């Protein structure tokens, strides 16, 4: 049973750093309403100067959503909590609506946090949500749609866009306990009818977990999530160690793996490290398939090979194993200020008033570069640099290769593609290792104290 005494706040929030304040994502449902009131109690007791902003995202997907947002605004006014309503505007997709709505919600929450100078977003995901997530991913795993990493469920903290931390302090609390708390506080909540619409996957599973034997299945799912979260974190730490020991970057876009990686202890961690590096080099958001990656690893063990996976060329030579972006599918000439180019580079133009265009440097310009870097084959360095972004106006004038190909007019900061959008705290170790390897921005400090990752 969830109590309302001082121990409650200590249990739920004492491990979270609220120095920069918090944005509470509130929909008006029981979970987010309880989160808001509990968080307000905690900050009033422990950090009264910390800023708390409640934000309701109106997705505009059903009648009544605007009225529910206004009801939450009134509750916040009664409790002295600043509140904002943000609307998801524009066309809505005909398929994949839940995922698109989730993306829009996090984008709007992050924009509100940045506008107010707040560095933390808190959401009301509960143990019920966690169990539902794990059961859904179990079903996908049975169908071959999920590789197993997802069985860890939702992380206690996730970095959004490499900038904003999203924390989930209620993952260990059941929804029924939160509703009991609200009843004692004499606070009501709204019921979103889409939560019972079995046209969607989650409501269907929610109904199953509420039925016969549902309690046991929920407990089993939560136990599985805990085990898999630990296993995923440990595997990430092992992979990060291998990346730091066996990887180097001869030039922008080119990674060299020491062949010792192939004979290191534990193929599982080595294959995982390889998958992360393939995704980062190719600029793809998802790790390559486990089976195909294991097959490639086996071919590398057998001897010299040249192959392509996840838009990445893997070239095993006497000088080492080299990874670089393949030339196929590179972006066309385009204005790219403030965008992630090719999934690999964060482009910032230095002169916003100029009409500057970004394009791949290209093989012809790369051939004119002066390449000197130890034993690294110059042809591989040119192949990698040919796929790097350059100002279209400067391509014809390329003459020397500098780290990062820092041509005038723009900067191109590397990003860690598989973790650039969402970085679960389970994966902090490999994300940090790859960021250090390729020269990406450092991961912002984790706002959780005592977190093993």
Judge if 85 and 188 occupy the same domain.
yes
Residue percentage of the chain with pLDDT more than 70: 86
Number of domains observed in the structure of the chain: 3
Q: Three-class SS of residue 228?
A: helix
According to the model, what pLDDT value does residue 167 have? 98
Residue 295 lies in a domain: yes
Residue 32 lies in a domain: yes
Residue 284 in tokens? 């793809």
Q: What is the 3-class SS of 257-320, one letter each residue?
A: ECHHHHHCCCHHHHHHHHHHHHHHHHCCCCCCCHHHHHHHHHHHHHCCCEEEECCEEEEEECCE
Residues 143-183 have pLDDT tens digits of 544 567 889 999 999 999 999 999 999 999 999 999 999 99
What are the CA-CA distances from residue 11 to residues 5, 20, 39, 44, 316 (Å)? 11, 20, 12, 16, 52
Judge contact between 292 and 302, C-beta under 8 A. Answer: no
Distance of CA 74 to the CA centre of its chain: 33
CATH number of the domain at 173, please.
3.40.50.620
Judge if 175 and 312 occupy the same domain.
no
Q: Directed axis angle between helix 267-282 and helix 290-302, to 10°?
A: 110
Residue stretches of the chain with pLDDT short of 50: 1, 3-7, 144-145, 396, 399-404, 406, 451-453
Judge if 55 and 79 occupy the same domain.
yes
Q: The whole model's pTM is what?
A: 0.90
Beta-carbon count within 10 A of 84 CB? 18
Judge if 366 and 390 occupy the same domain.
yes
What are the CA-CA distances from residue 126 to residues 32, 155, 219 (Å)? 9, 12, 13
Question: In terms of residue numbers, what domain contains 429?
Answer: 244-324+424-438
The Cα–Cα gap between 23 and 110 comes to: 9
Pick the last residue of a domain from 161, 188, 211.
211
According to the model, what pLDDT value does residue 346 have? 92
Residue 310 lies in a domain: yes
Judge if 257 and 403 occupy the same domain.
no
Residue 255 lies in a domain: yes
Judge if 187 and 296 occupy the same domain.
no
Residue 359 lies in a domain: yes
According to the model, what pLDDT value does residue 199 have? 60
DSSP 10-45: HHHHTTB--TT-EEEE--SSHHHHHHHHHHHHHHHH
Residue 316 lies in a domain: yes
Tokens 């250090």 belong to residue? 436
Distance of CA 262 to the CA centre of its chain: 28
Residue 66 lies in a domain: yes
According to the model, what pLDDT value does residue 450 have? 65
Q: Three-class SS of residue 390?
A: strand
Judge if 202 and 271 occupy the same domain.
no
Judge if 309 and 401 occupy the same domain.
no
Judge if 205 and 282 occupy the same domain.
no
Residues 359-392 have pLDDT tens digits of 898 888 888 886 776 789 999 999 999 999 987 6
Question: Average pLDDT over the chain, rounded to whole?
Answer: 88
Judge contact between 134 and 413, C-beta under 8 A. Answer: no
Residue 249 lies in a domain: yes
Judge if 15 and 71 occupy the same domain.
yes
Judge if 369 and 311 occupy the same domain.
no
Judge if 70 and 191 occupy the same domain.
yes
């Amino acid at each position: 049973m969830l109590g309302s005494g001082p121990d409650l706040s200590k249990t739920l929030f004492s491990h979270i750093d609220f120095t920069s304040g918090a944005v509470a994502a509130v929909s008006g449902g029981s979970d987010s309403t309880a989160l808001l009131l509990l968080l307000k109690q905690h900050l009033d007791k422990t950090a009264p100067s910390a800023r708390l902003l409640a934000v309701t995202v109106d997705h505009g997907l059903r009648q009544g959503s605007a009225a529910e947002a206004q009801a939450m605004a009134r509750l916040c006014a009664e409790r002295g909590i600043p509140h904002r309503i943000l609307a998801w505007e524009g066309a809505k997709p005909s398929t994949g609506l839940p995922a698109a709505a989730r993306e829009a919600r996090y984008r709007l929450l992050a924009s509100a946090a940045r506008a107010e100078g707040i560095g933390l977003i808190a959401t009301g995901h509960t143990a019920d949500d966690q169990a539902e997530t794990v059961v859904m991913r179990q079903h996908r795993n049975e169908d071959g749609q999920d590789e197993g990493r997802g069985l860890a469920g939702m992380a206690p903290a996730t970095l959004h866009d490499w900038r904003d931390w999203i924390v989930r302090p209620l993952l260990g609390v059941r929804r029924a306990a939160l509703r009991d708390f609200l009843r004692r506080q004499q606070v009501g909540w709204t019921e979103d009818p889409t939560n019972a619409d079995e046209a969607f996957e989650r409501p269907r599973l929610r109904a199953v977990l509420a039925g016969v034997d549902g309690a046991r299945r929920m407990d089993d799912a939560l136990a599985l999530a805990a085990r898999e979260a630990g296993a995923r974190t440990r595997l990430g730490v092992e992979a990060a160690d291998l990346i730091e020991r066996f990887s180097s970057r001869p030039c922008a876009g080119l990674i060299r793996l020491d062949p010792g990686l192939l004979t290191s202890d534990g193929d599982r961690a080595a294959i995982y490290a390889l998958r992360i590096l393939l995704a980062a080099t190719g600029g793809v958001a998802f790790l390559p398939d486990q089976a195909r990656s294991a097959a490639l690893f086996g071919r590398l063990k057998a001897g010299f090979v040249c192959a392509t996976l996840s838009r990445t060329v893997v070239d095993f030579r006497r000088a080492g194993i080299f990874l670089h972006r393949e030339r196929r599918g590179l972006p066309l000439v385009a204005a790219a200020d403030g965008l992630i180019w090719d999934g690999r580079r964060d482009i910032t133009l230095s002169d916003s008033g100029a009409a500057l265009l970004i394009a791949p440097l290209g093989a012809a310009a790369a051939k004119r570069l002066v390449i000197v870097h130890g034993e690294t084959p110059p042809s591989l360095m040119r192949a990698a640099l040919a796929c790097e972004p350059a100002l279209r106006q400067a391509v014809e004038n390329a003459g020397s290769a500098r780290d990062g190909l820092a041509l005038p007019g723009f900067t191109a900061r590397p990003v860690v593609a598989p973790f650039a959008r969402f970085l679960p705290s389970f994966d902090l170790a490999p994300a940090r290792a790859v960021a250090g390897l390729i020269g990406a921005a450092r991961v912002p400090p984790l706002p959780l104290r005592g977190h093993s990752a």
